[in-house]
Amino acid sequence: MLVGYGVKLGTTKRRQRKSTAAPPPDPAPPAPAPAEARVSPPPVQPSGGQAPGTESTPATVPAGTGNGQVLAKPPVRKLAKELGVDLAGIAGTGPGGSITREDVQGAAQGAAQPPAWPAGGAVLREERIAVRGVRRHTAAAVSASAFTAPHVTEFLQVDVTASMAAVRRLRDLAEFDGLRVSPLLLVAKALLVAVSRHPMINSSWDEQAQEIVVKHYVNLGIAAATERGLIVPNIKDAHLLSLPGLARALADLTATARAGKAQPADLTGGTITITNVGVFGVDAGTPILTPGEAAILAFGQVREMPWVHQGQVAVRQVTTLSLSFDHRIVDGDLGSAFLRDVGAMLADPVAMLAWS
């Protein structure tokens, strides 16, 4: 009845109150279902506190009335529509088996769960690993280095076919008997020779004194990946070693680091570092400086590539060198000259002998 339209003429009846004793009988029984679709209701067992003749809806059966309608209040139906939940598939836990907001929210959360992993054992979706020991120290060190020293990285591709041939020849010499001779040996030697030609690359920045400290000795760091994390032990006074002595020191350092037996003295005092990313099948990278050092050289994988050699395109063995340096100490001219010299000695090992 709309306001202002008056009252409908005629007698009016008071709306009858709903009886709480028993529901009124249905005006007409529903049509019988086909034989194959009929479901017999479970027998009603009277129990203490429950009047005979009343039924309780099991919690495992979806709530509904005899004519297939779901028992749910309008706000609950609206929530189900917003969450995309089908009320017909929810078992109500409310009075008389009605569906509550909690039932709808629980069904929505269950639908949002990702599909189960295939059979064969439970798999953890997440794992937390405590950051401590070597990994914690490394994380703090590289973070301090990355945000303290302004990094610059340069790249150089080098034809190392002659160096690879020299490595094979060194393995046959008696001086290297029992030693593992790898391309890293010549990279380390080339770096040491280049440091002697460009001493400023082997230095550190003293923030408190506002000075550059040039080291006239080389404690050569070799980055090593271990089960405990990344560590950088160094070979003390590597510039004084012969080539066989350098090979032996590299082998001992690598074995000690991987066995987890590196001592604190082995991990401190480095002046310049090499990281061999080529062993992981990587061509190049932008390495972060070891704290307190001015440069780090990344040695990429050696692989066959088409290369212009003596005016002709040929398949040659090529690698990529990456040099990161502290731009407060090393400018582009010095960094480029140092990287160029290392590359020249790897392209022609004879130059390494001439400049030593």
Q: What is the pLDDT of residues 5-24, one digit of tens each?
A: 445 555 555 556 555 555 55
Residue ranges of domains in the chain, CATH in brackets: 73-106 (4.10.320.10), 150-355 (3.30.559.10)
**Burial of 332 by CB count in 10 Å (0-12 exposed, 13-18 middle, 19+ buried)?**
exposed
Do the bridges between strand 272-276 and strand 295-299 make them parallel or antiparallel, or are there none, so unpaired? parallel
Residue 241's pLDDT band (boundaries 50, 70, 90)? very high
Instruction: State the Cα–Cα distance between residues 125 and 130, nearest whole angstrom.
Output: 17
DSSP 299-348: E---EEEEEEETTEEEEEEEEEEEEEEETTT--HHHHHHHHHHHHHHHH-
The percentage of the chain sitting over the pLDDT mark of 70, rounded to a whole number, equals 77
- What's the pLDDT at 116? 53
Catalytic, out of 137, 151, 198, 327: 327
- Model confidence, pTM: 0.63
Per-residue pLDDT tens for 164-217?
Answer: 999 999 999 999 999 989 999 999 999 999 999 999 999 999 989 999 999 999
Mean pLDDT in residue range 51-76: 59
Tokens 């009846």 found at: 13
Long-range CB contacts for residues 233-241, cutoff 8 Å, separation at least 24: 233/257, 233/262, 233/266, 233/267, 234/266, 234/267, 234/269, 234/270, 234/271, 234/273, 236/269, 238/188, 238/192, 239/192, 239/195, 239/196
Q: Of 40-54, 133-147, 335-349, where does the model show the most confidence?
A: 335-349
Give the DSSP per-residue string, 280-302. Answer: GT-----PPPPTT-SEEEEE---
Q: What is the pLDDT of residues 127-175, one digit of tens each?
A: 877 877 777 777 887 787 877 888 899 999 999 999 999 999 999 999 9
pLDDT band at 286 (very low <50, low <70, confident <90, very high): very high
State both tokens at 284. 């190049």
In Å, how far from its chain's centre is CA 101? 39
pLDDT, averaged across the chain? 82
327 assigned to active site: yes
